[in-house]
């Protein structure tokens, strides 16, 4: 192979252009991280209005003709340091609202066509439609890109290697079988070994069947999803392909998440200068109208959904308050959960403060000002908030699942004695176990010297992409070497 290894990543979001969750953070960070490994990553995104607004440059590259109901073309562009391919298909993407839902919160009725089109554009690039840039690997993220490996495999043409990454198995992208030909899928692919899933077309399932390699975002989640409890109906397929499945923990963007130079914070700090952190805590307390006592100020930054276990936290609140703790929450999601937390805050002014909506800067201030961050998720592929908490000196208190299990070292006696503890884990994911962890954290918080050791340990761990990128680089290289061997054997 000559020149750098070329990867086309295909995704529906990329930070800072468009983001609804951790997926965007990963897609936005991988290209920079892998450039350091001598690889060239370009990202294919739909051209949503939010993306168009942020483009630094864009030029037409390739006409794709009629695509899922209207004209489409590819643009080459750049924004925020990312080299981009943009799928311009105004009938699919040029509308107000989010990437998956309209302003009314309902899924776009044509999501099947919207993301099949994205995958079809990836197919074109993968098959060499651009003379000057042909990828060695097409890397599809989540169900929205799931058809890309399928289209490439089903083309029957020489194709690049393919990878599908699962960021969250809960979102699978299932659509009626009647769309098969409209989505340009051959009838022969509608089988249990193909795109068929419970009588429907499964986009993520297709990605899991047809990609050469599968990854997910932590080793523990990689194991969990091969079991019925976490496999969301796809555990059988994942067991079959377990030898192709790897877990690679997400990194964090250390330029965005750096408490020593964070424009959202009232004072800078790091592991050796914790005075600034105290100033951040005081400012947060004042901003939210809190009046915590000597017990920890617990923070939460989350989507309010069943997955995130905030209902367990709601049940544990009386204990948290009884032990003197206070709570600062930033969340958005299910109206019933919002209402319950709003009610709790009303009943305990000064001890519970809640803010609803999506507020990136307040999220930073909570990580910098809270003593501990609660992540009671029922399942968590990787989780980023516990990593931000570690970086910002807030002890994560996490359910022992998925990436939470892989990234937080529990403050048990042995870990404390060795000075390796960074937070608190609890299992099983129940109110009782959460209350126990809150109690352990509150007790350790009183012992300031030991608390500082735990805090500093978390802050100084390497959590950036530099530590993670080699695992992706190895995966791509292995995959290509494997294909080389395969084609040599066929010759
Ligand atoms: P998920 O992707 O399942 O929501 P992650 O922990 O992987 O969970 O990523 C969540 C990301 O979204 C983090 O960057 C977190 O800080 C951010 N986030 C979640 N809720 C909010 C909110 N209400 N306001 C601001 N940022 C939020």
Assess whether the C-beta atom of 302 lies below 6 angstroms from ligand 1: yes
How large a percentage of the chain has pLDDT more than 90? 94
Q: What pLDDT digit, counting tens, does each position of 292-341 carry?
A: 989 999 999 999 999 999 999 999 999 999 999 999 999 999 999 999 99
Evaluate if residue 491 carries a pLDDT over 70: no
How large a percentage of the chain has pLDDT more than 70? 99
Residue 99 CA, ligand 1 centroid: distance in Å: 16
Q: What pLDDT digit, counting tens, does each position of 461-490 carry?
A: 999 998 999 999 999 999 999 988 887 776
Task: State mean pLDDT over 227-238.
Answer: 97
Residue 383 CA, ligand 1 centroid: distance in Å: 8
**Residue 142 Cα distances to 205, 208, 211, 409, 489, angstroms:** 10, 10, 12, 28, 32
Q: Which of 217, 303, 366 to mutate to test the pocket of ligand 1 (most atoms within 8 A of CB)?
A: 303
The pTM of the full predicted model, rounded to 2 decimals, is: 0.95
- CA torsion sign, 87 to 90 to 91 to 97? positive
Residue with the bigger pLDDT between 151 and 131: it is: 151
Evaluate if residue 1 carries a pLDDT over 70: no
154 token code pair:
């089903």
Separation between Cα atoms, residue 226 and residue 221, nearest integer Å: 9
Residue 157 CA, ligand 1 centroid: distance in Å: 40
Closest CA to 204 of 334, 404, 23: 23
Q: Give the residue, by CA position, lying nearest to ligand 1 atom 20.
A: 302
Supply angle C-alpha 208, 124, 473, rounded to 5: 55
- CA torsion sign, 148 to 149 to 152 to 153? negative
Phi, psi (degrees; rounded to nearest 5) at 140: -100, 130
Supply angle C-alpha 173, 175, 181, rounded to 5: 125
**Residue 357 Cα distances to 24, 283, 339, 369, angstroms:** 18, 20, 13, 19
Task: State mean pLDDT over 392-414.
Answer: 98
Residue 168 CA, ligand 1 centroid: distance in Å: 13
């Amino acid at each position: 192979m000559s020149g750098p290894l070329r990867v086309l990543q295909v995704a529906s979001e990329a930070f800072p252009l468009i983001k609804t969750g951790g997926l965007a953070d990963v897609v936005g960070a991988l290209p920079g991280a892998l450039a350091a490994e001598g690889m060239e990553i370009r990202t294919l995104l739909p051209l949503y209005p939010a993306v168009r607004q942020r483009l630094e440059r864009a030029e037409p590259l390739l006409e794709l003709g009629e695509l899922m109901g209207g004209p489409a073309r590819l643009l080459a562009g750049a924004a925020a340091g990312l080299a981009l391919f943009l799928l311009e298909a105004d009938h699919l993407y040029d509308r107000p609202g989010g990437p998956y839902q309209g302003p009314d919160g309902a899924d776009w009725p044509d999501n099947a066509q919207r993301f099949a089109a994205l995958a079809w554009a990836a197919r074109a690039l993968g098959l060499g439609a651009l003379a000057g840039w042909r990828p060695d690997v097409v890397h599809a993220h989540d169900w929205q890109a799931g058809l890309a490996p399928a289209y490439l495999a089903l083309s029957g043409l020489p194709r690049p290697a393919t990878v599908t990454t699962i960021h969250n198995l809960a979102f699978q992208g299932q659509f009626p079988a009647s769309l098969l030909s409209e989505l340009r899928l051959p009838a022969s692919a509608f089988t249990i070994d193909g795109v068929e899933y419970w009588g429907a077309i499964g986009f993520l399932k297709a990605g899991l069947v047809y990609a050469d390699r599968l990854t997910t975002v932590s080793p523990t989640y990689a194991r969990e999803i091969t079991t019925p409890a976490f496999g969301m109906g796809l555990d059988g397929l994942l067991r079959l392909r377990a030898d192709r499945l790897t877990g690679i923990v997400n990194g964090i963007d250390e330029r965005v998440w750096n408490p020593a130079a964070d424009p959202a914070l009232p004072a800078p700090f790091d592991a050796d200068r914790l005075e600034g952190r105290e100033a951040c805590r005081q400012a947060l307390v004042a901003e939210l109208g809190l009046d915590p006592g000597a017990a920890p100020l617990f923070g939460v930054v989350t989507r309010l959904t069943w997955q995130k276990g905030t209902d367990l936290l709601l049940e544990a609140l009386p204990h948290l308050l009884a032990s003197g703790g206070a709570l600062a929450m930033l969340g958005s999601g299910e109206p019933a959960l919002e209402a319950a937390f709003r009610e709790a805050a009303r009943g305990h002014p000064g001890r519970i403060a809640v803010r609803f909506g999506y507020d990136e800067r307040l999220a930073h201030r909570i990580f910098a000002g809270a003593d501990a961050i609660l992540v009671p998720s029922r399942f968590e592929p990787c989780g980023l908030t516990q990593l931000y908490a570690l970086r910002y000196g807030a002890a994560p208190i996490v359910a022992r699942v998925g990436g939470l299990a892989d990234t937080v070292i529990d403050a048990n006696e042995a870990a404390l004695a060795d000075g390796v503890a960074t937070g608190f884990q609890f299992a099983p994911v129940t109110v009782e176990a959460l209350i126990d962890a809150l109690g352990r954290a509150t007790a350790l918080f009183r012992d300031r010297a030991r608390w500082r050791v735990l805090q500093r340990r978390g802050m100084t761990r390497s959590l950036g992409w530099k530590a993670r990128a080699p695992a992706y680089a190895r995966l791509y290289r292995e995959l290509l070497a494997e294909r080389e061997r395969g084609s040599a054997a066929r010759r």
